[in-house]
Amino acid sequence: MKVETILFDLDGTLIDTNELIIASFTHTVEKYGDRPYTREEILDFIGPPLIDSLKKVNAEKVEDMMTTYREHNYANHEKYVEAYPTVVETIKTLKNAGFQLGIVTTKLSDTAKLGLKITGMDQLFDVLIGLDDVENAKPHPEPILKAIDELHANPMTTMMVGDNYHDIEAGHNAGVQTAGVAWTIKGRKILEDHDPDYMLEEMSDLLKIVGVE
């Protein structure tokens, strides 16, 4: 199937924010949790919307926790965030080849833009759909469908690329093609269990799939 539009998740897909996210969760949970949380437990928080993860720690203080998390996360972006190998070159190549490119993330738009700016990719995407742009987060199809709508794209020639099963599920729900990334911190089996159309060993694999050599 031909691909003309490619939508990307951000964290864990294009940019490595894993240690930043873990540090921000750890900082927040130490302040509001009733016990220490292990790294493995915190890894389970990565992917779903922030509010859903933090409610599991302390539902009564979830608004305060979100503020604490976001302040820490935003303040420490420069220290932690970098693009994964071959990502920037691949995105530039796709842009130059005329593909429509978008970001669909469960982060707030401002924080997503900061990550793109730090990694030099802030001018490469035609649309950015953040958590504050939609009523329903992935795996609901709304964020993908909103990006498609804003780009006047065709779902049949659109692909969603992500590191979390929410991305693959959202892609299936929106009727687009899907690609998982093997470098996911969650482990590739979780993605493979959700039947993505493609699995990328590195981002440059995408070029062959969409016919750009």
pLDDT of residue 186: 86
* DSSP letters for 176-201: -EEEEETT-TT-HHHHHTT--SEEES
Contact (CB, 8 A) for 188 and 165: no
Say if CB 163 and CB 183 are below 8 A apart: yes
Q: What is the structure's pLDDT at 107?
A: 92
CATH code of the domain in which 167 resides: 3.40.50.1000
Instruction: Give the rounded percent of residues in the chain with a pLDDT score beyond 90.
Output: 96
Band (25; pLDDT cuts 50, 70, 90): very high
pLDDT confidence bin for 115, thresholds 50/70/90: very high
What's the pLDDT tens digit per position in 53-101? 999 999 999 999 999 999 999 999 999 999 999 999 999 999 999 999 9
Tens of pLDDT, residue by residue over 132-143, are 999 999 999 999
Of the chain, the end-to-end C-alpha distance in Å amounts to 17
Q: Quick: pLDDT tens for 117-168.
A: 999 999 999 999 999 999 999 999 999 999 999 999 999 999 999 999 999 9
Within this chain, do residues 95 and 197 fall inside the same structural domain, yes or no?
yes
Which of these three, 79, 104, 128, is where a domain ends? Answer: 79
Phi, psi of 137 (to 5 degrees): -85, 165
Report whether pLDDT(213) > 80: no
Residue 28 has pLDDT above 80, yes or no: yes
* Together in a domain, 158 and 91: yes
Q: For residues 69 and 144, state if they share a domain.
A: no
52 and 125 housed in the same domain: no
Q: So what's the pLDDT on residue 47? A: 82
Average confidence score pLDDT of the chain: 96
Compute the distance between CA of residue 203 and CA of residue 194 in angstroms, rounded to an integer.
Answer: 19
d(CA 54, CA 44): 11
- Same domain as 135, residue 34: no
Whether the CB-CB separation of 87 and 198 falls below 8 Å is answered with: no
Give the residue from 45, 27, 33, 36 showing the smallest Cα distance to 185: 45
* Residue 9 known to be catalytic: yes
Report the C-alpha gap between 129 and 9 in whole angstroms.
Answer: 10
162 and 93 assigned to the same domain: yes
Q: What is the number of residues in the chain?
A: 213
Domain that holds residue 48: 18-79
Name the nearest CA neighbour of 199 among 161, 154, 165. 161
Pairing of strands 82-83, 15-16: antiparallel
Contacts of 147 (CB under 8 A, 6+ apart): 7, 102, 104, 127, 129, 153
Q: Are residues 65 and 165 in the same domain?
A: no
What integer pLDDT is reported at residue 1 of this predicted model?
78
Count of structural domains, the chain:
2
